[in-house]
Structure 1
Amino acid sequence: MLGKIALIVNENRALSTYPSVVNCMVLFLKNGYEVDLIVPKDMNIDCDTKNVTVIKYNYKGIFPVKIINGLIGIIHQLLSEKYNLILPYHAYGLIATGVACRIRKTPYGYFCLEIKCFDQIRNIKDKVMKSLEIHFNKKADFTIVQDNSRKELIKKTHGLQDGSIFCIPNSYLGPFNECSDYLRDKFEIPRNKTIALYSGALESWAIDENLILSVDGWDENYVLVLHGYCRGDYLEKVMKPLVEKINSKRKKIYLSLNLVDETEYMRLISSADIGLAWYRKDLPENVSTIGLSSGKMNAYLRCGIPIIVPTYLEDLRKFAEEYRIGVAVDSEYEIKNGILEIVNAHNYYKSNTINYYKENLDFEKKFYETFSSDFIP
């Protein structure tokens, strides 16, 4: 083995929903490194980790005990092994890494999946955590974000030097070329129906009621599938009653709430005709500059699925219009017009989508551009 690398995740969604983590794990192993994956105790490890050492730390209790216990657990692990590189993906892991690396000098980077900007700082805890994140990010050997817009955002927010920031999209290893009838078989959707898929968070920060209400005005040959997860009661209290109301006239919306592994997820996406890379308005700066950190958009593009995006998210609009990989519309109530435009030229958009992914979004290509042979001691 060339050495050992630690990857640190600090959220508790299923591991497969973090492609940037899973991909690094696979590629570091492929290149001869041992990999320790440090995650919260209750995280669902739904990927193949047979060649990885999974280390779980306790992250429960009330503030500040929860924070302190988690930090102590991560720091203890980092000091108990000799690592060639430590790579945290969230601010919490970065802080633990920064403290550990002050005690034992070890190279570390910051693969930043979320750039929490000052418009999201609401209390003393947020201020302290943000100050520590910025401090230890400046000490890191390098920082990874997903595209140039997010590079500019983290450079401005954290005061970083341009040359220390690299871009790797939140995407997957290679295109997915398998044809599938996954959703049609699962929900018995007729072949004459066009399937528009929304995949991702079914939570209030991501989408609002207008996406559901707009489906009432769709052509009878269009259906919407909502596939994803919800960590609160928004789905049960808000979304499901609206879906039932729309479906009381005619079945137009299908809920797909089961967690699936990456291969099954790609089959699910491949069975759609159009992907909705949709987010609600009035988002914090972190999400309004989402660009190539959008997991749902990159998953659609990997499967050759044309996208519909909102015009108010400038980066997504530019991607769709410049590369002709989809259509940008002003609101949820214009999605039906976007569907019609794509349906009328589906092969054209699909071809553009496949080419764009191969040329710009393949994770492995960008990984090797960043982690050159002399990058890791």
Structure 2
Amino acid sequence: MIGIVTFNRDTFTNPTLYGIIEALGKKGVQVMLFNNNRDSKIPAEFKHVSYADAPKGLIFPRRPNKLLHYLRVFWNMFFVIKKNKIKHLIAVDPAGLVLTGRIRMFNKNLNIHYCSFEIFFQSEIAADAALVKLKKEESKYNKIISSIIIQDEIRKELLIKENGIKHFNNWFLIPVYPIINKNYQGKKYKKTDFGLQQSDTVYVHTGSVAEWSGINQIIDTIENGLPPNQYILIHSKTKFPSENPVFIKLNALKAQGKNVIVHDDVFEDYNDYLSFLSCFDYGIVMYVPDNGIFTGMNIKEIGLSSGKFSAFLSQNMPVLLSPCRSYQSILADYKIGELITPEKNLAFHILNGSLKKIDAANCTKFFEERLMASHIVDQFLSQLLNH
């Protein structure tokens, strides 16, 4: 049995974790998920996965009764690990690593494998005493890690610097990659489903519409006018509240006859979402960092941890990209898109048809060579299970 320790809610929608759990099931290995955020049910195909309680948070409560309950849950977690003879724990992000490290203080036989999706940058958390303390503890437990999973070389470099990691070489670079069902029999979408002609050209923005997603630049581009038969589709993965200012602005632009499509239908199945994307032409992968803890350097150098990037490439869609170092390096080797820069902004690329000269076969090649990471997951699990 393998344990996964996480405080996050996205275990079954995180492609990397999903891929690891799926691969463990195929190898006949049981998985114990230590997590209290159980908003998502365990997928029906994961018969080998079960939940176990973990302490809520990392700060010891001050009130005696709450402290007693916290310690009871902590020790119960310790004994569940011991009872099930769990030798390997996959710790997700800094909080998961700290909790796992604390457990290991009482069980030196545990092997910890760190899965890093969010990096805490010391300059960004300096004003938050609790996060500074968490960062210090995270860095301490880095010294007892058996392996580290991260998305690409740039993010590896950043984690090494921020956590002071030295003389460590057991890394697994696993990009965030889409969970593709090759036997998908769901709906096949067409542009006409959205009031368009099949000959129309559609650029897709998907995900958040917060400022860090580049939505202001996208709205400016729509407002200033797109060429005939060229559209930008804004897809939100959750329903827009009617009072959302972005939703109001987009609907106003649509009412003015601007070339924008607003889509916020919720896809129950990830492969329905991929099928939806496949009927369009190009993807917009835009990130505008701010001073936020999760929206500063984490998105400035998002690289291969971007879910939308891998989703677009899985559907052979050329992309317009933020100028992070990973994307600049990728474009030097694979002609899959163009960079959005101050000199050549989003509007420039659309007005000049920059992506028309990109061969979709380049996207297929890149996806197969750089984003299909199942073989790296197998390498990681082979080492873990044979240790």
Q: TM-score, normalised by structure 1?
A: 0.85
- The within-5 A match list for 1:49-198 is 49-55=45-51, 57=53, 73=73, 76-81=76-81, 82-104=85-107, 105-121=109-125, 122-160=127-165, 161-172=167-178, 181-182=188-189, 184=191, 186-198=193-205
Alignment correspondent of 1:356? 366
Answer whether contact 2:151 2:176 (CA < 8 A) is retained: yes
Distance 1:299 1:74 in 2: 38
Correspondent of 1:246 among 238, 241, 253: 253
**CA drift at 1:79:** 3.3
- Structure 2: 5+ residue stretches without partners: none
Distance 1:71 1:148 in 2: 39
Distance 2:239 2:266 in 1: 13
Letter matched to residue 10 of structure 1: F
Distance 1:240 1:118 in 2: 35
Corresponding position: 1:202 with 2:199: no
Alignment correspondent of 1:221? 229
**CA drift at 1:344:** 2.7
Letter matched to residue 141 of structure 1: S
Letter matched to residue 52 of structure 1: H
Question: What secondary structure is seen at the aligned counterpart in 2 of 1:40?
Answer: coil
**CA drift at 1:84:** 2.8
Answer whether contact 1:202 1:230 (CA < 8 A) is retained: no
Question: What secondary structure is seen at the aligned counterpart in 2 of 1:103?
Answer: coil
Answer whether contact 1:166 1:370 (CA < 8 A) is retained: yes
| C-alpha spacing 1:174/1:202, structure 2 compared with 1 (3 Å) | same
Distance 2:71 2:239 in 1: 23
**CA drift at 1:219:** 1.8
Alignment correspondent of 2:357? 345
| C-alpha spacing 1:109/1:376, structure 2 compared with 1 (3 Å) | farther
Corresponding position: 1:288 with 2:293: no
**CA drift at 1:86:** 0.8
Distance 1:58 1:274 in 2: 43
Letter matched to residue 351 of structure 1: A
Correspondent of 2:282 among 274, 282, 287: 274
Answer whether contact 2:19 2:377 (CA < 8 A) is retained: no
Question: What secondary structure is seen at the aligned counterpart in 1 of 2:382?
Answer: coil
Question: What secondary structure is seen at the aligned counterpart in 1 of 2:213?
Answer: coil
Answer whether contact 1:211 1:332 (CA < 8 A) is retained: no
- Structure 1: 5+ residue stretches without partners: none
Distance 1:187 1:71 in 2: 54
Alignment correspondent of 1:298? 310
Alignment correspondent of 1:29? 25
Percent identity reads 20
- The within-5 A match list for 1:33-44 is 33-44=29-40
Distance 1:236 1:358 in 2: 42
Correspondent of 2:333 among 322, 326, 334: 322
Distance 2:51 2:7 in 1: 12
Corresponding position: 1:212 with 2:216: no
Answer whether contact 2:121 2:162 (CA < 8 A) is retained: yes
Distance 1:259 1:65 in 2: 39
1:30-80 residue CA offsets vs partner (Å, 9 max, x unmatched) = 122111233333422374443133316478799875998789746633531
Count of residues paired in the alignment: 369
| C-alpha spacing 1:341/1:40, structure 2 compared with 1 (3 Å) | farther
**CA drift at 1:17:** 3.2
Higher Rg of the two aligned structures? 2
**CA drift at 1:223:** 2.0
Question: What secondary structure is seen at the aligned counterpart in 2 of 1:214?
Answer: helix
Letter matched to residue 244 of structure 1: N
| C-alpha spacing 1:32/1:266, structure 2 compared with 1 (3 Å) | same
| C-alpha spacing 1:61/1:162, structure 2 compared with 1 (3 Å) | closer
Letter matched to residue 362 of structure 2: N
| C-alpha spacing 1:373/1:174, structure 2 compared with 1 (3 Å) | farther
Distance 1:343 1:180 in 2: 27
1:189-223 residue CA offsets vs partner (Å, 9 max, x unmatched) = 32122221112233344334222222222223222
Letter matched to residue 227 of structure 2: D
Question: What secondary structure is seen at the aligned counterpart in 2 of 1:110?
Answer: strand
